[in-house]
Amino acid sequence: MAAKKAAPKKLSLAPVLDLNEAQALHGKLMALRGNDLAIDASSVERIGALCVQVLMAGAKSWEADKQSFTFSKASDAFTKTTQLIGVNIDHLMAKEI
């Protein structure tokens, strides 16, 4: 009998992810490490490069741990900002079945 995989933990991002939020974001991610993670970025209005870097470092950590790290939803502002600074998150977007 195959083991049933637990549902991913969820993390909703704050509307403003600037320099002041980077450390808090890192702390939230570290508290969820070891679990599959679905991030809701639908309410993000503004995100700075440092918070994008924290998220991408998180994605690498989850990959090393062989855990799922996906964005279940992303606002236009989140998507456009990541594209503007040259970060491709397409491979991290949850796929519709």
CATH number for position 82: 3.30.750.24
Q: Are 53 and 82 in contact (CB under 8 A)?
A: no
The model's confidence at residue 85, banded by pLDDT at 50, 70 and 90, is very high
In a domain, 1, yes or no: no
Residue 78's domain comprises: 10-92
In a domain, 29, yes or no: yes
Q: How many domains does the chain have?
A: 1
Question: What whole-number distance in Å separates Cα of residue 94 and Cα of residue 97?
Answer: 9
3-state DSSP assignment of residue 83:
helix
Question: What whole-number distance in Å separates Cα of residue 34 and Cα of residue 12?
Answer: 18
In a domain, 3, yes or no: no
In a domain, 2, yes or no: no
In a domain, 4, yes or no: no
Q: Is the pLDDT of residue 4 over 80?
A: no
- Evaluate if pTM is beyond 0.85: yes
Per-residue pLDDT tens digits for 14-68: 999 999 999 999 999 999 999 999 999 999 999 999 999 999 999 999 999 999 9
The model's confidence at residue 7, banded by pLDDT at 50, 70 and 90, is confident
Angle 62-64-66 from CA coordinates, rounded to 5°: 70
In a domain, 5, yes or no: no
